[in-house]
C-alpha cells in the first residue's frame, strides 16, 4: 500500500478537494483498492464520499484496539466522527495505537489517501508518522507563504521524533485555487518559488474554477461534469493527479 497525506495546517486551501479527487482518480483505474481516511472532524470529505463504501470510523484507528478493515475494489471510506476531537488529550497512547492499527491495513489496500484537519495536533502527527508521501496544497493569498516554514518544520519534527530519521516523500507545495490573471497571486507564486526553492514545488497548479465546488457538491469528480468550464478543470486536475500517481509509484527511500 502506498499512502499519501494531503496536509497543510492552513484552512481552506483545497486539501479536501484535492484529496477526494485523488481518491476518485486512483480508484478509476483498474481495480485499485483505495482506502480514504478522513481525519478532519468537520467531515467534509466524508460527506463528499458518502456514496462510496463505508468501511468504518477513522477514530477507531486511534481508540479501538480491535480495529480492522477488509479492502474492496474502489474507494473504502473511514469516515470522520466527533470522537476525533477527543484524541489530542490522549495523544501519548492514541498515536502509537493508530500506527499499530494502520500497519495492519497495508495488505488490504493498494493506496491510502488521508485528509487532515487544518490544525496541528495528534491526528496530523499520526498521519505524518505513517505516511509515505505528503502533498501540500497552498493558496497564494498573502499569509500562505508564512505557513510554509511551519509546515516543513512539522514534517521534520515527525521525521526526527517519530520516524527515527526516515524521510517523508514530500511531493511538494501545490498552488491551489490559483487565480492566474491576478497580478498579486502571480507575484506571490514567484515569491513562493524563490522562498521555497523549485525542489519544494509540485510541478503543476490547480486554477481557481467554479467546477470544483460544483463537482464536490454532487459527489462527482470534476472531469465527469458536462460543462465546458468543468471539462477544463477536469483536464487540469487529471494532469496534476497523473503526476501525483506516478510520483507515488517511485521507490520509497528508506
Ligand atoms: N481549485 C479550486 N477552484 C475553486 N474553488 C476551490 C478550488 N479548490 C477548493 N475550492 C473551494 O475552496 C473551499 C475550500 O476548499 P477545501 O474544503 O478543499 O479546503 P480545505 O483545505 O480542505 O479546507 P479545511 O482546512 O477547512 O479542511 C471550498 O469551498 C472549495 O469548493
Ligand atoms: Mg478540508
Q: What is the pLDDT of residues 143-179, one digit of tens each?
A: 677 788 889 999 999 999 999 999 999 999 999 999 9
Give residue 14 CA to ligand 1 midpoint distance, Å.
4
Would you say the CB of residue 14 lies under 6 angstroms from ligand 1? yes
Q: Tell me what pLDDT residue 97 has.
A: 98
Q: For the ranges 6-15, 130-139, 188-197, which has the lowest average pLDDT?
A: 188-197
Residue nearest to atom 13 of ligand 1 (CA): 12
pLDDT range class, residue 253, cuts 50, 70, 90: low
Average pLDDT in the chain: 94
Q: Which of 243, 221, 251 is nearest to 233 (CA)?
A: 221
Q: Tell me what pLDDT residue 203 has.
A: 93
Give residue 44 CA to ligand 2 midpoint distance, Å.
6
Residue nearest to atom 16 of ligand 1 (CA): 14
Return the sign of the alpha-carbon dihedral for residues 131, 177, 84, 36.
negative
Task: Quickly tell me which residue has 477507531 as its cell.
Answer: 60
pLDDT range class, residue 197, cuts 50, 70, 90: confident
pLDDT range class, residue 70, cuts 50, 70, 90: very high
pLDDT tens digit string along 108-130?
Answer: 999 999 999 999 999 999 999 99
The Cα 14–Cα 18 span in angstroms is 6
Longest dimension (CA), the chain: 53
Which atom of ligand 1 is nearest to 117's Cα? 27
Q: Which three cell numbers stand for residue 198?
A: 523549485
Q: Tell me what pLDDT residue 195 has.
A: 85
Give residue 18 CA to ligand 2 midpoint distance, Å.
9
Give residue 213 CA to ligand 1 midpoint distance, Å.
8
pTM beyond 0.75, yes or no: yes
Q: Tell me what pLDDT residue 254 has.
A: 59
Would you say the CB of residue 118 lies under 6 angstroms from ligand 1? yes
Q: Which of 14, 35, 53 is nearest to 131 (CA)?
A: 35
Q: Tell me what pLDDT residue 145 has.
A: 73
Res 239 pLDDT > 70? yes
- Go through 193-204 and write b for each residue having 16 or more CB atoms within 10 A of its CB, e for each that does not: eeebeeebbbeb
pLDDT range class, residue 30, cuts 50, 70, 90: confident
pLDDT tens digit string along 86-111?
Answer: 999 999 999 999 999 999 999 999 99
The Cα 28–Cα 132 span in angstroms is 21
Give strand pairing partners of 133. 4, 169
**Domains in the chain and their CATH numbers?**
2-249 (3.40.50.300)
Ligand 1 pocket mutation, candidates 17, 39, 221, 235, criterion most atoms within 8 A of CB: 17
Give residue 46 CA to ligand 2 midpoint distance, Å.
10
C-alpha gyration radius of the chain = 17
Give residue 196 CA to ligand 2 midpoint distance, Å.
23
Ligand 1 pocket mutation, candidates 177, 235, 238, criterion most atoms within 8 A of CB: 177
Amino acid at each position: 500500500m502506498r499512502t499519501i497525506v494531503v496536509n497543510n495546517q492552513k484552512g481552506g486551501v483545497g486539501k479536501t478537494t484535492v484529496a477526494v479527487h485523488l481518491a476518485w482518480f486512483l480508484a478509476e483505474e483498474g481495480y485499485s483498492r483505495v482506502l480514504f481516511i478522513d481525519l478532519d472532524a468537520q467531515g467534509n470529505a466524508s460527506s463528499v464520499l458518502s456514496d462510496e463504501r463505508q468501511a468504518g470510523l477513522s477514530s477507531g484507528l486511534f481508540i479501538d484496539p480491535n480495529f480492522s478493515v477488509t479492502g474492496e475494489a474502489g474507494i473504502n471510506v473511514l469516515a470522520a466522527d466527533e470522537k476525533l476531537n477527543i484524541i489530542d488529550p490522549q495523544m501519548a497512547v492514541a498515536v502509537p495505537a493508530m500506527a499499530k492499527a494502520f500497519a495492519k491495513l497495508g495488505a488490504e489496500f493498494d493506496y491510502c489517501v488521508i485528509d487532515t484537519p487544518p490544525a496541528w495536533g495528534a491526528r496530523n502527527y499520526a498521519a505524518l508518522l505513517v505516511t509515505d508521501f505528503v502533498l501540500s496544497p497552498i493558496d497564494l493569498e498573502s499569509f500562505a507563504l508564512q505557513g510554509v516554514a511551519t509546515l516543513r518544520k512539522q514534517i521534520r519534527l515527525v521525521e526526527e521524533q517519530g520516524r527515527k530519521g526516515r524521510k517523508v516523500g514530500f511531493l511538494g507545495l501545490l498552488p491551489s485555487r490559483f487565480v492566474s490573471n491576478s497580478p498579486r497571486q502571480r507575484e506571490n507564486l514567484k515569491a513562493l518559488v524563490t522562498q521555497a526553492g523549485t525542489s519544494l514545488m509540485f510541478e503543476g497548479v490547480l486554477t481557481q474554477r467554479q467546477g470544483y465546488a460544483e463537482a464536490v457538491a454532487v459527489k462527482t469528480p470534476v472531469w465527469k461534469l458536462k460543462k465546458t468550464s468543468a471539462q477544463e478543470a477536469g483536464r487540469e486536475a487529471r494532469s496534476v493527479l497523473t503526476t501525483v500517481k506516478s510520483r507515488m509509484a517511485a521507490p520509497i527511500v528508506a
